Structure 1
């Protein structure tokens, strides 16, 4: 696999994923940036696109954070050195950026979060820090020096006087200079510090990693919705005890059994994970979707070879006994096993053969699924205007 250098996907997952950093020289040969610095700055002027400026020597003090949207005048007032522009979720606004994420298809698609672009002038940095998630750092333009350090956690000391989470004590372990096409993988919790050597662009491919608190809260909500007042703590095996006020180990064990029974629901937990991991940052869905019927959709797709999953659409699925569940934009829907091939294709790649997709839609539920997704602008045909259906 070229993206991983001499490593296979299996070797990377076994030896590096969530374990240790990996530098891959020339991961994407002859790589060219998808946007110029001016075009990236243009995105940061938009209200709906999340952007930030970080100035190491700001007017408000060291490591000043400014949040977008910005204006052209904001850029005219910036210093010559030591600032960085971060534009989040560029893949949701630029099809070419969404296509770039397809290179990481050796990882579950529902784990990928977004592609953030960092543009920095000479000396620009966001400071030594660590992330709670995996990240691939692809050098797109110019050079950036990366330094990696110690393992960090919630107790790691941060500098005071800034809203940025910058490590107070960074212990450098390794140092690399990345050129265009080079890529650095970093596991969660590893301290790192990137510094621009001249003007440069870096693409950060980040991954979703819900906190335990988020997952427990979602699971608890799902479990609570299925419980009744008749399901209660019980102790038919109760024995006489010497201290009447004591909560015994046996009582705690009964509670553990009760909770375990509720958690031992694979279908429910699949839905919890599927809905959470497909919640979108943004959505292309119109307020009043116009859903075509099957004949209208067939007519619309007869003029194109390619069907696309919208850049802002998030799909996943899980298999169950007698059915499958597809998760679309944070919502679950049950489909028969006969639709598995279609659902697998829709969730597996952003770019699909329209004729192949139509062939896979053999059942009425499959056809209705495609009509719904198309009407909601979550899939679109080559030639559609900004993903808007044409029928």
Structure 2
């Protein structure tokens, strides 16, 4: 029997993954009915003033030409110079900054958490847009306020012509599909698979859109990253050999046999399930920004955890996964790893149920911490996560936080 998730409307999780995920778009009316964004336009603009926040403004007609982009942080005076229409503010990784924004990710628990990238929030007055373009990753577009018109087009690739003289990847030939031309209202959700051309335009003064994006390693990133990681672990005596060498037709020729030997060598060294597992887990949980984690000034110990739970109620949430942190695990024949924000630790197979519970949660109550303290290995892993900043201590009144509805 299949199960449904409210954010997918009448579509079951299984049907969505089979029929839509990375295949075709899906519009879900009132995926989050009654949705009220937890920050307003002024607060979003305030984030764009911060030095540590990644932001940009796109103007359809800038002083230097069409589709001009400006990178933050911005001065308040810059906003005062903007025209009344036809520009867009985009603020990246707002879920890393505000837990109440990150809570929306809990609605996407039918997808791997380690695939999630961030929640970007955009604001645009009437006519605001970033032009017809494509993304190389999956994205869910949640209309938070106002109205935005979305027009979808053709699937594109690296050879698709782009508009010259702009840093933005604007398509020169947008082939609009008249059957996929929709106006989204607050609470509506639009899923777009990778490489599908799309063009969103604000129809109101208060248009804000939340973009839930997903990580997708390029072949170059995977090849170079895995090769570097595995290369550091190779022995000096693992070299090209040609004991089967026969008399060459020409002494300067690199023949097919030589290439076959090279290919065999590369296949031998890359065929390391343990190394690939560890590299992939580290890569897919790596933080979005290098200085994102805030480690403890003084390392916690089991004594710290015991002191924390001494007077707490059994169901009280004391700890939480840091905003933007990624936890994942791999349990396979080659071993068991817990991954968190680019780090990796081995764990015993007997700890599997606890690891799965750890990676499923967003907050941790007294009962969970007590269970971790019953086993030295789980206690050590929990302390690793706390001390490196992947898990942090909630404020006194934060235990009652609930996901957005």
Pick closer, same or farther for the CA change 1:172–1:41 going to 2, 3 Å: same
User: Per-residue CA shift, 1:166-196, capped at 9, x if unaligned?
Assistant: 1111000121111111111001100000000
How many Å apart are 1:239 and its aligned residue? 3.7
1:241 offset after TM fit, Å? 5.0
| Residues in 1 aligned to 2:163 and 2:83: alpha-carbon distance in whole angstroms | 23
Q: Secondary structure at the match of 1:11?
A: helix
**Mean Cα deviation higher: 222-231 or 154-163:** 222-231
Q: Of residues 24, 48, 55 in structure 2, which corresponds to 1:51? A: 55
Could you list the per-position Cα deviations for residues 101-135 of structure 1 after superposition, in whole angstroms to 9, with x for gaps in the alignment?
A: 11111111010000000111001000000001000
Shift of 1:349: 2.8
1:152 aligned to which of 138, 149, 156: 156
Structure 2 residue ranges without an equivalent (≥5): 400-405
- Within the alignment, does 1:197 sit opposite 2:203 as a pair? yes
Identify the match of residue 293 of structure 1 among 289, 296, 301.
301
* CA distance, structure 1, for counterparts of residue 208 and residue 115 of structure 2: 24
CA contact (8 A) 2:296 2:386 kept: no
Shift of 1:20: 0.7
Match of 2:365 among 346, 353, 362: 353
1:133 — aligned with what? Answer: 137
Partner Cα distance (2:352, 2:169) in 1: 44
The structural deviation recorded for 1:51 is 0.7
Deviates more, 1:276-285 or 1:115-124: 276-285
- On the 8 A contact 2:154/2:175 being kept in 1, the answer is yes
Match of 1:5 in 2: 9
Matched, 1:94 2:114: no
> What is the DSSP-based 3-state SS (H/G/I as helix, E as strand, rest coil) of the residue aligned with 1:198?
coil
The answer to whether the Cα contact below 8 Å between 2:161 and 2:171 also exists between their aligned partners in 1 is yes
- CA-based RMSD: 2.0
Kept in 2, the 8 Å contact 1:151–1:191? The answer is yes
1:367–1:168 Cα change, 3 Å: same
Matches within 5 A, 1:1-391: 1-173=5-177, 174-199=180-205, 200-282=207-289, 283=291, 285-286=293-294, 289-302=297-310, 303=312, 305-306=316-317, 307-321=319-333, 323-383=335-395
Would you say how many aligned residue pairs link Structure 1 and Structure 2?
A: 387
For the structure 1 residues 335 and 243, does the alpha-carbon distance in structure 2 shift closer, same or farther, using more than 3 Å as the test?
same
Deviation at residue 71 of structure 1 after TM alignment: 1.9
Q: Secondary structure at the match of 1:52?
A: strand
Contact kept, 8 Å, 2:135 with 2:195, in 1: the verdict is: yes
Helix, strand or coil at the partner of 2:147: strand
SS at match of 2:45: helix
Q: Is the contact made by 1:267 and 1:320 (CA closer than 8 Å) also made in structure 2?
A: no
Secondary structure (helix, strand or coil) at the match of 2:140 reads: strand
- Runs of at least 5 residues in structure 1 that lack an aligned partner in the other structure: none
How far is 1:376 from its partner?
3.2
CA distance in 1, matches of 2:309, 2:383: 11
Deviations 1:1-21 (A, max 9, x none): 211111111111111111111
